[in-house]
Amino acid sequence: MKRLFLIGILLLVIIPPVHAADWIIDDSFIGGGYYTNQYPQNKVKKYYQKGGDVISAKKNVNIFDVDEMTVNIDNSGNVTVSIATDYSEAKGLGTEYGDLFISTDGWKPYGDSPYMEDTINKGETWEYVFDTSAFVSGTNQNPIYDTATGTFITSDDVHGGSSQPYHFRHDQEVLFAAGDPGDFSGTGAFYDDVDGILTYAFNLDDLGLSADEAQNLGFRWTMTCANDIIEGGVHWAPVPEPGTMLLLGMGLLGLGALGRKKQARSA
């Protein structure tokens, strides 16, 4: 038994604690509404497309660029979604931070990568939205809404309609207009980092999900002009804590020792 105890301690030392998992979602989603046939001249004269990704005047491409999104979830169900982007409301471009859209039944964009036909009418249906505007108005606590009642605000709603020849991607969901107060689901925190990282923090409980069960999640973020969009999905499953793994290992060792003892008696 003493030997088993020592082996158990050794297992505890060599098994690293696993508390959280990270996923990096690359900016490979383009989205529909690049330009309309009513204004084909905009494709050349007005819009500049960086690898099919960023829509803007040529001089502003880097300002609107989104690099990647990092999703971190720990065993307590704490979620952080960090977005690396050069975009900032503070640059005075007449656009704003969009909301963080969240899917709780996986990520199902329309079409094939890079999803150039994906629009609000065809793409993923988002079950929850993390409202960014509360931070902008001066508070650091932000509501998370259930989208069952309420409406999505599109890039066209914000910027004058799809007939306007402006530098933005049309037909894209960018904000959520909460309808009924019953939409409220939970409260998270939004941090605007000076190093170009926007971070949303909340818990799976705010989405009506359990941290004890595997989850398929989808995330989307863009600014209100949708000049660059990032979307992607993750599959998360809780990882047993080291203590649980230690008990399992000691149990298996104990069963093995008991088996050897029975063999010795029979011999």
- Evaluate the CA torsion angle 96, 98, 170, 87 in order and state its sign: positive
Q: Using pLDDT thresholds of 50, 70 and 90, give the confidence band for residue 12.
A: very low
Centre a 10 Å sphere on the Cβ of residue 50 and count the other Cβ atoms it contains.
14
Q: Using pLDDT thresholds of 50, 70 and 90, give the confidence band for residue 265.
A: low
The pLDDT mean for the chain works out to 80
Across residues 193-201, what is the average pLDDT?
88
Full-model pTM? 0.81
Residue 128: pLDDT over 70: yes
Residue 172: pLDDT over 70: yes
What was the pLDDT predicted at 167?
76
List, in order, residues 6 or more apart from 259 with CB less than 8 Å away: none
Residue 137: pLDDT over 70: no
- Please state the separation of Cα 20 from the chain's center in Å: 15
Model pLDDT for residues 74-83, shown as the tens digit of each residue = 999 999 999 9
List, in order, residues 6 or more apart from 200 with CB less than 8 Å away: 79, 80, 81, 82, 100, 130, 142, 188, 189, 190
Maximum mean pLDDT: which of 14-23, 59-68, 69-78, 153-162: 69-78
What was the pLDDT predicted at 248?
43
Model pLDDT for residues 15-42, shown as the tens digit of each residue = 444 457 899 999 999 998 875 444 455 4
Which of residues 7 and 262 earns the better pLDDT score? 262
Instruction: Judge if the upstream peptide bond of residue 114 is cis by omega within 30 degrees of 0.
Output: yes
Q: Using pLDDT thresholds of 50, 70 and 90, give the confidence band for residue 261.
A: low
E-strand ranges in the chain read 20-26, 48-50, 54-56, 66-74, 78-85, 100-103, 128-130, 141-146, 150-154, 173-178, 184-192, 197-203, 215-222, 229-236
